Chains A and B, each alone.
Chain A
Amino acid sequence: MNFQKIRHLAGNYIFVLPAFLLFATFSLYPFLKVFQLSVMSWDGISPEMTYVGLGNFKDLLLDNPVFWNSMGNALFVTVLALTAQNLLALVLAFLCDRDIRGGNIYRVIFYLPPVLSGIVVGLIWNWIYDGNYGLLNHFLGFIGLGDLSRAWLSDPKTALAAVAVIHMWKGFGWGFVILLAGLQSIPRELYEAARVDGANSWTVFRNITVPLMIPVFVLVSILTILGTMQIFDIIIATTGGGPGYHTEVPITRIVQTMVGSSQFGYACAMGVVFGVILLVVSMIQIRVSKMMRQV
């Protein structure tokens, strides 16, 4: 009996064993290495490194306003992405979930921005935002709002928002695909039953779609947070973090510290702090979602 039970439990572990083995080999060692380096002073080249204790962390937490400012910038983009980007993705997924004409074509088209390489995205958006020959300024002039035209990426008032728009445009396709899969997983019978009961579209949406979709919403929002906080490529292709520090984000700071000034250990400390923050945020999200589901 006991033996049976143990065998049964062991069987459960076998399901997670392959994943755990891969993790233990390919993630754990680099993680531990990064933790080890975060208490060192090292230039990334020399075989020697010096132990500095928590010095990197102390400086980072108390004396690195640029890093925390970059965190604020990423947070700003994240809040925008969480609301505007995900709302757009949801609306589009909702529309494509119904048997709309051309629905299949739309599904493919909305996935194009994620597929496009960063080079194309950078070239196109640099052109759209250009101060002298940009499409956006041209359009504004056309509709009589020429006063608003500017070099969008180098104006401190608009640079971060301009970058955020590119990020959201590039990213809504991901959320769209997941949300659509979630919507499609809702049994059609539930909708039909509600219709028979005389419920209108809004009540159906509020009472059937939303409750069933909460876990998917949580999934999408966690992925949005993780993806947006780690924004990097788009910044490099458009503003390089400027003007000044207006579009600096944590990853650009980490890379600059690691490659630009060869402070490898310090960069690892930045990575650890950043990772811990993301971990905490995600845990809170998962907790909250569990509470919401139990209500």
Chain B
Amino acid sequence: MKYSLKFFIIFFLALCFAGCSTGDKKDLSDGLKVWHWASDRESAFQELAKRYEAQFHVPVRFELYAPSEAYAQRVKAAAQTNKLPDIYGILGEKRDFASFIKSGYVADLTPSLNSDGGGFVWKDKLFEKALAVNEFAPGNEYGVNPGIYGVPLDVTTIQMVYNKKLYEKAGLDPGRPPQTWEEFLSHSSVLKAQGIPRFVSGFGEIWLIDAFASNLAMNIMGEEKVFATYAGKVPYTDPDWVKVLALFKQMADEGILVEGAVTMVNKMAEQTFANERAAYAFNGSWCVNVYKGMNPDLQYGAMLPPKATNLNPMRIWGGAGTSFVVNQKSGRREKAIQFLKWLTEDAQQAFLSVETQNLPVSKSSIGRISPILAEFADDMDNATHPNVYPVHEISAVTEAFDKGIQSILIGEKTPNAVAQEVQRIKEKESKKNQ
């Protein structure tokens, strides 16, 4: 039994060691600490930090916490104990962003963005739509002081892509993707005749359903009516909403969606499209980088979701992909803002864009991006984003709506039944929130 005793001793020695040593803590008294969750950009960030220190003698430490769920938890926990770093990102909906601001964890960047620095105004260099995502308008529903609270690092749009090679194979014009819903249906029956699977998306992650459905809804009834629904002035049983749901019924009836897409995670859906097992996908512009890795020869183009009517323009979700905020309680606020400003300058934006195949946020870098990214950039004019909506739907209602669409897609429920159910939950939740 002697060895057990040794174990005992080693164990307690180890615990003592654990207690004392906290590793080599680099002194960061005059440096900046940045928290992020984007594993795919970690090495690019580290490189930029090195360049910044070499140039301005301000050490910057990027710390990666992944996956994003773990990161979000860490940020919330750190907020409870005032341990947030100088610069960090906030994940979640606008409501969460507002809560961080109201709790005093986020600095208002409006003055810095508007200030004239070296012959130009910082704000003017960046895409308005990316900035708008971090902006709180006067009289916003959350009661946040109006202003811009975050700096976007890149731009993302969520829209459709189609496979040009499969289009050619089916005898369709690869330069002319469907623009209207009828065209979409007719193209897809041509593809079907050739035995080509059609549409894939990670509809197992319901936010993608939400994005697609809200694009169609804004096309069918216009933004104002969508917002009126969120505000509780138009019911979900309105014929226009049933029409939106009926489009999904049509997709189900025609078998347009790849089998299993209803519960697919987006990474699986991306595999399916990259391996040419679907002619269309609904995905974000980050897919350029994903597809490039999985199938460098993939020939595809970006397109807007097909229009169901000509009454209203087609809107897609787009805006800032990743944004950073500055900690209001940090003593190094000015330094942090300077660093973010530097990150959005052309040289750094071009570097990030090349390294990570994301759309840059600085307007003057946009000329240097790849042709496929440029296609995505072109559709920015149609972009809107839940963060810029004047009103927001209650999460429980959104969930019921998206889950309802899943039920329609598997042929379990009718559009009418889903509309009624969503309206019932809307009424219940609105009562609770009063």
Residues of A within 8 A of B (CB): 43-47, 59, 63, 122, 126, 129-133, 150-156, 159, 237-240, 242-245, 247, 256, 259-262
Contact = CB atoms under 8 A, between A and B. Distances in A.
A262 B265 contact: no
SS class, residues of chain B in contact with chain A? helix
A53 to B, nearest CB: 14
Given A47-B103, A59-B432, A156 B206 contact: no
B116 interface: no
Contacts of A152: 260
Contacts of A153: 260, 263
B412 A154 contact: no
B262 A261 contact: no
B395 A260 contact: yes
Contact of B263 (A44, A46, A238): A238
Contacts of B72: 259
B428 A63 contact: yes
A237 B410 CA distance: 20
B259 A43 contact: no
Contacts of B203: 242
Contacts of A247: 263
Contacts of A154: 204, 259-264, 410
A40 B181 CA distance: 47
10 contacts: A45-B100, A63-B428, A131-B258, A152-B260, A153-B260, A153-B263, A155-B410, A240-B204, A242-B203, A242-B406
Contacts of B102: 46
Interface of B: 69, 72, 76, 79, 92-93, 95-96, 99-100, 102-103, 197, 203-206, 258-265, 268, 277, 394-396, 399, 403-404, 406-407, 409-410, 412-413, 428, 432
A44 B412 CA distance: 36
Contact of A132 (B197, B403, B404, B428): B197
Given A45-B99, A262-B95, 15 more contacts: A43-B96, A45-B103, A46-B102, A150-B259, A153-B263, A154-B260, A154-B264, A155-B410, A156-B410, A240-B205, A243-B263, A244-B406, A247-B263, A262-B92, A262-B96
A15 to B, nearest CB: 15
Contacts of A242: 203-204, 206, 262-263, 403, 406
